[in-house]
Amino acid sequence: MASADHVYDYVVVGAGPAGCLLANRLCADPACRVLLLEAGGRDNYPWIHIPVGYLYCIGNPRTDWCFKTEAQPGLNGRSLGYPRGKVLGGCSSINGMIYMRGQASDYDRWAEQGNPGWAWEDVLPLFKASERHYAGNSDVHGADGGLSSNVIPGTSSTPSARLRHKAASIRSATSTVAAMKAVDTFRSTSVPACAGMPPKPFCDRP
């Protein structure tokens, strides 16, 4: 028979961004006992916190489940790697610290295809509620959530910040050459609520 110390009101499986944010909100109620389970390890691997570090996180059994797709006829029978984060923070710990959201037109298309609640105007409030955006509250971003993001500064006096900025500049330029949208917004490591950081704001709660 389980003791009272092992009885929980909620069990959240997976400590990726969604799991961490959900657990954080649930256990903000002091009457709730929440258990957050993660199959991977802690996010104390240094490469998680450096943008170019995704090169050492993806395909690494320490941080990646190393899944493979089924062989695809359109790829001449080849299978592809399908990175999935196996660490606190989930996939956001191995994605080069990029923070982005989907295109509004994609969400609207899903709604048009018979998925109520998935239109952009439906999901935007949820995005805003989860964000702690560096530019503050606006029509498209929120500032009071647990998912923190910052823009890489143009200059900094610290060697680590200069390294991060250089890596971000190289990746942005590469994206432009490849006709991809350049990304200059990155998840922050200063407010550890999720996205590559342990859920420290609520780890001492019941």
Per-residue pLDDT, 156: 47
Domain count, the chain: 1
Which residue type is seen at 88? L
151 within 8 A of 184, measured Cβ to Cβ: yes
Mean pLDDT of 99-127: 94
Residue 199 pLDDT > 70, yes or no? Answer: no
Is the pTM above the cut of 0.85? no
Per-residue pLDDT, 120: 97
CA distances from 128 to 104, 144, 196 (A): 14, 8, 19
- In angstroms and rounded to an integer, the radius of gyration of the C-alpha atoms of the chain is 19
Q: Which domain holds residue 177?
A: 42-198
Residues 6+ apart with CB under 8 A from 157: none
Q: What's the rounded Cα separation, in Å, for the pair 126 and 20? A: 15
Confidence bin at 155 (pLDDT 50/70/90): very low
Domain presence at residue 7 = no
Domain presence at residue 10 = no
Domain presence at residue 149 = yes
Domain presence at residue 90 = yes
Confidence bin at 42 (pLDDT 50/70/90): very high
CA 58 to chain centre: 14
